[in-house]
Amino acid sequence: MPKPLRPTLIVLLLLGHSLSGSWAAPPLPPSYKWGRGISVPALDFNLGGYANVSYMHPENQPNYLKLDEISLLISWSPLQRLRFFAEVEADDWLSTQYPNSFANAIRAERLYADLLATDTLTVRVGKFLTPLGRWNVIHAAPLIWTTTRPLVTDEQLFSHHLNGFMLTQRIQFSERNLDISVYADHSSQFDIFDNSTTGFDDAFGGRVNLELSEPWQVGFSFINFTNELHPKAERNNMVGMDFVWKKDGYEVTTEAIYRHANDSQGQEHGLYLQGIAPLAKQVFAIGRYEYLNGTHQFIRTDTHIGVTGLAWRPYVPLVFKAEYRFGSQNESVAPSGFFTSISMFF
């Protein structure tokens, strides 16, 4: 064999050997796992979802049963650096109090594309959850500990969704992560498949989340916005601070906010502090304190709330919750009563 051809032949043999290894391994077949949905590895596609059924028994008000969430979660990555995600939800569809038509109940809870511009910079475009605090971005009923939401995460305080874009930069130092996000919303022109009237008219803001240690994280948020229902009103400025600690089944979470506008929307400030403690196998005790003061939904409030309850997770995708809420001057915004729910990923 002529000497000039030997290096070329060696390269071709090595390349052929590496390719034969990949050809010999067929793609994994589609599969289903409870709580993780249907996975199609060959397409990098996943279809799952969750459902939530609640029974509400507020004091001095009618009690009711409702299927308040049934969501499909769809994820697809056609390219290594591109991912599409959608959450299509029927919200408050079936209820013994106010039954809703399916056409009015269904909406796109999330619908966005993520582009990994670099190994540490992500560009998100579409409809996504407002990154204000922790409760709102955790979002899914099987992942949260109580049937009721804290007042400082209420949709009347700020919209749970943004329609626009967000840039997120991750910085690593001392083996810890610092995530910095900035975003802009223009829901009045870019609202996606949603019948809600509690959205932003437009907004911009940012969030910083710092991993202090493995169990500790702290976050800071800011948003400036106008509401869809009152687009001519003064702009609102809102700041928030939050932290979480988790270890050995114990958990402590808190969020505090302050909102201000120079008109009848007024100002309000509040917080919640929630603790979780394991009692027995997969059974957890829950305690939460909430405080809200100011003009909430154009109503003057000085509200104190306590929530005590239990959560049972017999399996990872399934959780049963029961709680009692009580308080002072809370009747108009978060009435006392008994609340329970069953949530499940499928």
Going by C-alpha positions, the residue among 234, 206, 223 that lies closest to residue 295 is 234
Task: Please compute the mean of the pLDDT values over residues 263-275 and round it to a whole number.
Answer: 93
> Which CATH number does the domain housing residue 258 bear?
2.40.160.10
For the purposes of burial, counting CB atoms within 10 Å of the CB of 100, is it exposed (0-12), middle (13-18) or buried (19 or more)? middle
Maximum mean pLDDT: which of 104-118, 122-136, 152-166, 286-300: 122-136
The band of 195, judged by pLDDT with boundaries at 50, 70 and 90, is low
Q: Which domain holds residue 227?
A: 28-345
**Is the pLDDT at 141 greater than 80, yes or no?**
yes
| 1 belongs to a structural domain | no
Query: Mean per-residue pLDDT for 224-237?
Result: 87
Question: Token pair for residue 240?
Answer: 């928030």
Which contacts of 62-69 are long-range, i.e. CB under 8 A and separated by 24 or more positions? 62/97, 64/95, 64/96, 64/97, 65/95, 65/96, 66/92, 66/94, 66/95, 66/96, 66/97, 67/93, 67/94, 67/95, 68/92, 68/93, 68/95, 69/141
Domain count, the chain: 1
Structural domain includes residue 20: no
Tell me, yes or no, whether 11 lies in a domain.
no
pTM of the model: 0.87
Q: Please give the mean pLDDT across all residues of the chain.
A: 89
Spatial separation of the C-alpha atoms in residues 301 and 331, rounded to whole Å: 10
Instruction: Tell me, yes or no, whether 23 lies in a domain.
Output: no
| pLDDT for 55 | 97
Amino acid at 103: A
Any domain includes 221: yes
**Nearest Cα residue to 260 out of 235, 231, 291, 240:** 235
In a domain, 338, yes or no: yes
Strands (E), the chain: 31-33, 37-40, 45-58, 64-79, 82-95, 106-116, 121-129, 161-173, 176-185, 200-211, 216-227, 236-247, 250-260, 267-280, 283-296, 299-315, 318-328, 337-345
Using CB atoms within 10 A of its CB, is residue 314 exposed (0-12), middle (13-18) or buried (19+)? exposed
The predicted structure's pLDDT at residue 228: 83
Q: Which pLDDT tens digit goes with each residue over 81-129?
A: 999 999 999 887 888 877 777 777 788 999 999 999 999 999 999 999 9
Which residues touch 90 (CB under 8 Å, ≥6 apart)? 67, 69, 70, 71, 102, 105, 106
**Residue 35 placed within a domain:** yes
CA–CA dist 279, 276 (Å, integer): 10
In a domain, residue 228? The reply is: yes
With 70 as the cut, is the pLDDT of residue 1 above it?
no
The set of residues, in sequence order, having a beta carbon less than 8 Å from that of 24 and lying 6+ positions away, is: none
